[in-house]
Amino acid sequence: MRKDLVDNNQKRNQQTASLTDSYQPHREMVMRLIEATFKDLSGPDSAELSSLVLLGAGNCLDVELPRLSELFQTIHLVDVDAEAISTASEASGVPGEKLRLHGPADIAEPLLSLTSRDFEPTEDNIEHCTFVLQQLASENGLADIPESDVVVSLCVFSQMLDSLRHVVAEDSPAFTNAVRSLRVGHLRRMLNMLRPGGVAIFVTDIVSSDTAPELKAATDDTIAATVKKLINERNFFSGTNPALVLEDLNMLSRLPGGPDTVHTIDPWLWQMADRTFAVYGLRIQKKPPIQEADEAQV
């Protein structure tokens, strides 16, 4: 992995490490989504589920590890910043046997190892560029994580997009295809980490007050309308348009192991120091295993 790209992610974690209180409303929203999913999957007995995967766990400010440890036997913390997840693990007070740390990990491999040369728009590089796009879009993720009940992407997709912009310029002919490959690959890898019938929760920031200062005045009652307006004005992070994410999920639903159902979670506000972000989520349930009776009818 490229040191500069890894360093960028580590600096981001260092800058936000002290923002526990600022994250609280956002964290509570993410926790409600996970706890509701646990309730749906565990049934009336509320039996402890086997495992949870947190992608882009970082400082773990998006979640409360002690609460999650009461719901899941094992929690996998995945991040490119090994120090951040180690520090968060120790600070949580959760028994060590409950947590599995995966870092440094390139969730979008080979993203953090790429250079601008991989996307050079020259005739003799077309075949290689196509191969790189295929790798980014592949379902091949982290081999050391077993199939899990729930996988959550914790606003890591926008960080992946930021890394991509350090590799391929936005005015490059390859940029649009690279963004879509990255997005499709992230969705496929989340699904691939799930057991049949498991649930992926895709949480991403879509725009910040840097380009949309009106977010600072938005409220829980107005944020949905504000985000809709910003999308219509094309004021959002490249690749995060929910319509395009849903389009990709619809395509993946035609494949074995694809999504069975997808539910959109209305946007909410996320305060990060003096910046305000709009965040939305998708709850994606993987297709259940094919029953013998169904197979007999095919």
Mean pLDDT in residue range 207-217: 98
Angle subtended by helix axes 3-16 and 157-165, to nearest 10: 140
pLDDT for position 294:
54
pLDDT for position 153:
98
Neighbours of 76 (CB within 10 A): 23
Give the tens place of pLDDT for each residue, 260-280: 999 999 999 999 989 999 999
- Tell me which DSSP letter residue 48 carries: P
Q: Residue 169 to residues 25, 75, 176, 270: CA-CA distances in angstroms? A: 34, 36, 10, 28
pLDDT band at 46 (very low <50, low <70, confident <90, very high): low
Give the tens place of pLDDT for each residue, 147-161: 999 999 999 999 999
* CA separation for the pair 69, 51 (Å, rounded): 10
pLDDT for position 298:
53
In this structure, the dihedral spanned by the alpha carbons of residues 224, 226, 232 and 237, taken in order and rounded to 10 degrees, is: -90
DSSP assignment string, 247-277 = HHHHHHTTSTT-EEEEEEEEEEEEEETTEEE
In this structure, the dihedral spanned by the alpha carbons of residues 252, 228, 216 and 24, taken in order and rounded to 10 degrees, is: -40
* CA separation for the pair 168, 243 (Å, rounded): 24
What six digits make up the tokens of 207?
């725009």
Average pLDDT, the chain: 94
Neighbours of 150 (CB within 10 A): 27
Q: How many residues does the chain have?
A: 298
pLDDT for position 251:
97
Task: Give the three-class secondary structure for 146.
Answer: coil
pLDDT for position 292:
35
In sequence order, the β-bridge partners of residue 95 are none
Flag whether pLDDT at 295 surpasses 70: no
Domains of the chain from N-terminus onward: 3-297 (3.40.50.150)
Give the tens place of pLDDT for each residue, 247-265: 999 999 999 999 999 999 9
Rg, C-alpha atoms of the chain: 19
In this structure, the dihedral spanned by the alpha carbons of residues 207, 210, 214 and 216, taken in order and rounded to 10 degrees, is: 100
Mean pLDDT in residue range 15-32: 96
Of 267, 131, 260, 141, the residue nearest 199 (C-alpha): 260
* Alpha helices (H) along 93-233: 126-136, 157-165, 175-192, 223-232
**Contact assessment for residue 152 and residue 201, using Cβ atoms and an 8 Å cutoff:** yes
Flag whether pLDDT at 291 surpasses 50: no
Of 96, 39, 51, the residue nearest 193 (C-alpha): 51
In this structure, the dihedral spanned by the alpha carbons of residues 208, 267, 264 and 38, taken in order and rounded to 10 degrees, is: 110
pLDDT for position 121:
84
pLDDT band at 7 (very low <50, low <70, confident <90, very high): very high
The pTM of the full predicted model, rounded to 2 decimals, is 0.93
Mean pLDDT in residue range 206-227: 98
pLDDT for position 44:
73
Give the tens place of pLDDT for each residue, 184-196: 999 999 999 999 9
Residue 27 phi, psi (nearest 5): -60, -40
Mean pLDDT in residue range 15-39: 96
Flag whether pLDDT at 288 surpasses 80: yes
